[in-house]
Structure 1
Amino acid sequence: MPCYRCGVRQTDPVRGASPWRRGVRHEAQVLICPSCQREHDLDLDLDRCRTCGSSRLICRLGEVECRSCGAVRPARVADARPSSLVGAGAPGLSEEVEAALGRLFGRHPAR
């Protein structure tokens, strides 16, 4: 999953805690790269807990959970994959892999 702000993809992790941050935006789980964490006030973009106001939310299995207070609520299904995410119009992982294999093996995509 790419960073929702800039579209950069996560690289292989090193040992220790990941510098990437998880969040929820428009009822969908998003990742935030370290650069965007430094450069932007992400709390303005991310959904907030209805109980405590924290932006430390995770979305899983149709639920949104607050990592600060533990409140859990059902996620709205209608807007589970918003078009406002940066990666929505960008090539997906399968397209990136296909392009990389084409470069590696000298194949050119059919047009």
Structure 2
Amino acid sequence: MPCYRCGARQTDPVRGASPWKRGVRQEAQVLICPDCQRRHDLDLDTCGTCQSTALICRLGEVECRSCGTVRLARADAFACSGAPPVPPGLSAEVEAALNRVLGRA
């Protein structure tokens, strides 16, 4: 996956943590290269609770890594993320499976 701002491709990292960062933009997970991280106008989504941009998006949920708030991603966000459309009925099956695994009522 390339950097969402400049299109640079991530290369195999040397030992240690990757200098690339993850973020959420328009409710889709994006990567940000080290050069673009220096910009202050990244236009990333923010947490509605603490205003942090340290968000991750997974399985239709957006989680804030700063305060732990989890919310459902907008259903129309998948249309702009490049993900293929979900077949009818599959989202209900996935939601039921998640509820079982995560112990939700």
Letter in 2 for 1:32: I
Gaps of 5+ in 2: 83-105
Gaps of 5+ in 1: 89-111
**Larger radius of gyration between Structure 1 and Structure 2:** 1
RMSD: 1.6
SS of equivalent to 1:10: coil
**1:66 matched residue in structure 2:** 64
Counterparts in 2 of 1:50 and 1:42: CA distance versus 1, 3 Å: same
The 8 Å contact of residues 26 and 80 in structure 1, kept in 2 or not, is answered as no
The TM-score, its normalising length taken from structure 1, stands at 0.68
Letter in 2 for 1:51: T
* Separation in structure 2 between the aligned mates of residue 69 and residue 81 of structure 1, nearest angstrom: 28
Q: Which has the higher contact order (CA 8 A, sep 6+)?
A: 1
The TM-score, its normalising length taken from structure 2, stands at 0.72
How many residue pairs match? The answer is 82
Percent identical residues: 73
SS of equivalent to 1:65: strand
Counterparts in 2 of 1:13 and 1:72: CA distance versus 1, 3 Å: same
**1:27 matched residue in structure 2:** 27
Letter in 2 for 1:37: Q
**2:99 matched residue in structure 1:** none
Letter in 2 for 1:11: T
**2:51 matched residue in structure 1:** 53
